[in-house]
Structure 1
Amino acid sequence: MGEPFFSEKGACGTVYANLLALDQGDPMRQIVEDLWARFQPSHDRHFLREARTSFQERFWEMYLFSALQDQGLNPQKGEGAGPDFSVLIEGRRYWIEAVAPGKGNGADQVPAMDFDCHEARLVPHAQIQLRYAASIADKAGKWPGWLEKGIVKEGDGFLIALNGFGCNEFMDATPPLFVRACLGIGHPTIAIDAKTLEVVDSFYAFSDSITKKSGEAVSTTPLLNPAFAHVSGVMHSLAFCGARRGSLLEGMEFLQNPLASIPFPGEAVAGFRRYSWSERGLTTINPEPAWDEDPDLEAE
């Protein structure tokens, strides 16, 4: 029996403290313990200490690791100086770097949800997409250094696994905000005939950047930029310990990079909702339901 995930020792963040105060059988605490039991053999010696103050980031690593296992892959923990995990598919290694951005700081931070507010307000799509775009750009920028140090190799694939819960407590959009932050997809738009007032077209506007309060424009088209061709794709989830799911794969999503130099085989994550981009637009492939999802349904 290994170390327990939760400990009374030392300073900790609010979420960790709240979970520590719960009974051991509480569902929110139990999902953490269950993930820890699966992840523990692969953790490094700093993991538990970091989890005390950066809970969502470490929770996401455990969740992602276990979800990949449930998908039938065999994730291996990476070196401390490199990406978090790797998987081997048909002889090619794909590295996976997990990131869980928070709300940020300053004028462009994502506002906290006000549960006592009883009036309609706009969902802060722009601020959330800024956090996503910044995280993707930051993680993508680490690849050349890893390559130079020999941690990763030419011919390896690279995936960024984004957990948005820390900056997105709100309802997601259609297409999801992480997809919009990668492909420049803006607001849904309709074209109206000025004479007849009939709707003649409907589409999503193209939005290649979001302007920060400082006036700086931040790109929302990283996966349309050849400079990001080393990124095979982006995984995404809003998973957190308070969400009760029938399967860890529920809510997992994958966006293929249309310009990837090393494409990732989407069928390897058939349990994820998958998105791909082409001249025809965005294509979505929904995961097939598990056989035990409806035990009363019998094959005819």
Structure 2
Amino acid sequence: MPIDLFSPQIAATDQHMIFQMISENSYGPERAVLTRWAEGFQDRDGKFVRELQTTFESSFWELYLFAALKEWGLPIDLRHHAPDFVVEGPVPFCLEATIANPPAGGQPAHGFSMAHPPRNFTDFNIESTLRICNSFDAKVRKYRSSYLNHAHVQDKPFVIGIASFDRPHSHFAAGRPILAALYGLYHDEAATRPGDTHVPSYNVTAAPKNANTNIDVGLFCDEAYADVSAVVYSCLATWGKLRALADDPVAPSMYTTIHPNPGSLFPIVRNAWKREYSEHLMDGLYVLHNPFAKKPLPPGLLGHPRLCEVTVADDGELIMNAPDDFLLLRMIKSIKPA
């Protein structure tokens, strides 16, 4: 029986803001996309739909990963409720989903005004990196203390899927924080000077949490996390992804997207009305491999023409296999009738 995502299980006053919005009549095409993602999905612990309706983002990300696994053509063994996905196929592996949440007392990644984007991208990137590291570490501890004890997990590569929902405008992070968190590659926005053709970058081993504490980064730069084979990451698997994929050509929405522009500090910027805009499920997705993994995930197993796959050469250079028009950022402006 197909899972019913939208029949309310809780009072409207307790529903997440995005779930309330997607439940409106005008967002039928967006609901259709989410329903397609969920085809074949099973609520194995009996809490999934309720969590989707109350907290939304973590459950939404889990459905996105489920849709991505189907796009990869990888079968899933749904007999197990943990980790989130026990993936079969040519190289069986386990995939656990998590999101980078706001710090205690921090603003959520929804309900903010687009009129005030981040002013200081150095602080923004550092804070986003720290939130990713926190979520990564929590899942590794869960894997070591619990998941690893299960027979269906042992001797399989372990992959963590991370999405950024850690602050307003979290989608502005692009790949900066995940590259810093995993490989210690820090892009220094503040060091950029007029006439530069790229943002200066260098290797770091820690990021400042506060004036007295640093948090280790470069999590894939030694054997400390060799039990993690790879990370699947996106900051664009959001409400905007549903809107981009929805079959609603008459929607009065303008899409502004940013893409790489080699040799220039300024990216390629494109604008299109909804009726002219096209986006793929996998656009904006990263697959990042751990060169120290005890059980490496073969490069290409999670490859796709629309995503960015990151591996590490023997000399330590990052090799980023991505389409020329890889989606770095998407912004949507909509006209609401009076």
Question: What pairs with 1:130-149 in structure 2 (closer than 5 Å)?
Answer: 130-146=130-146, 149=149
User: Quick check: 1:205 aligned with 2:202?
Assistant: yes
- Whether the aligned pair in 1 keeps the contact of 2:102 and 2:165 (CA below 8 Å) is no
Counterpart selection for 1:27 from 2, 26, 29: 29
Counterpart selection for 1:255 from 288, 302, 307: 288
- Whether the aligned pair in 2 keeps the contact of 1:31 and 1:241 (CA below 8 Å) is no
In structure 1, distance between residues paired with 2:189 and 2:56: 39
Closer/same/farther in 2, CA of residues 100 and 190 from structure 1, 3 Å limit: closer
Please state whether the residue corresponding to 1:254 is helix, strand or coil: strand
User: Quick check: 1:95 aligned with 2:94?
Assistant: yes
- Whether the aligned pair in 1 keeps the contact of 2:83 and 2:147 (CA below 8 Å) is no
Q: Equivalent residue for 2:275?
A: none
TM-score by structure 2 length?
A: 0.71
Counterpart of 1:260, as a letter, is: A
Closer/same/farther in 2, CA of residues 122 and 288 from structure 1, 3 Å limit: closer
Aligned residue pairs total 276
Counterpart selection for 2:322 from 270, 273, 286: 286
Q: Percent identity?
A: 22
Counterpart of 1:217, as a letter, is: N
Q: Equivalent residue for 1:59?
A: 60
The unaligned stretches of length 5 or more in structure 2 are 246-278, 326-338
Question: What pairs with 1:96-115 in structure 2 (closer than 5 Å)?
Answer: 96-106=95-105, 114-115=113-114
Please state whether the residue corresponding to 1:7 is helix, strand or coil: coil
Closer/same/farther in 2, CA of residues 145 and 151 from structure 1, 3 Å limit: farther
Shift in Å, 1:100: 1.6
Shift in Å, 1:56: 1.1
Shift in Å, 1:179: 1.8
Q: Equivalent residue for 1:232?
A: 229
TM-score by structure 1 length?
A: 0.79
Closer/same/farther in 2, CA of residues 87 and 111 from structure 1, 3 Å limit: closer
User: Quick check: 1:222 aligned with 2:219?
Assistant: yes
State the Cα RMSD in Å: 3.2
- Whether the aligned pair in 2 keeps the contact of 1:78 and 1:85 (CA below 8 Å) is no
Please state whether the residue corresponding to 2:115 is helix, strand or coil: coil
Question: What pairs with 1:58-207 in structure 2 (closer than 5 Å)?
Answer: 58-77=59-78, 79-80=80-81, 82-90=82-90, 92-106=91-105, 114-117=113-116, 121-123=119-121, 124-146=124-146, 149-167=149-167, 169-173=170-174, 175-188=175-188, 204-207=201-204
Q: Equivalent residue for 2:272?
A: none
Please state whether the residue corresponding to 1:5 is helix, strand or coil: coil
Closer/same/farther in 2, CA of residues 115 and 241 from structure 1, 3 Å limit: closer
Shift in Å, 1:230: 0.5
In structure 2, distance between residues paired with 1:209 and 1:262: 26
Counterpart of 1:77, as a letter, is: L
- Whether the aligned pair in 2 keeps the contact of 1:165 and 1:239 (CA below 8 Å) is no
The unaligned stretches of length 5 or more in structure 1 are 192-197, 290-300
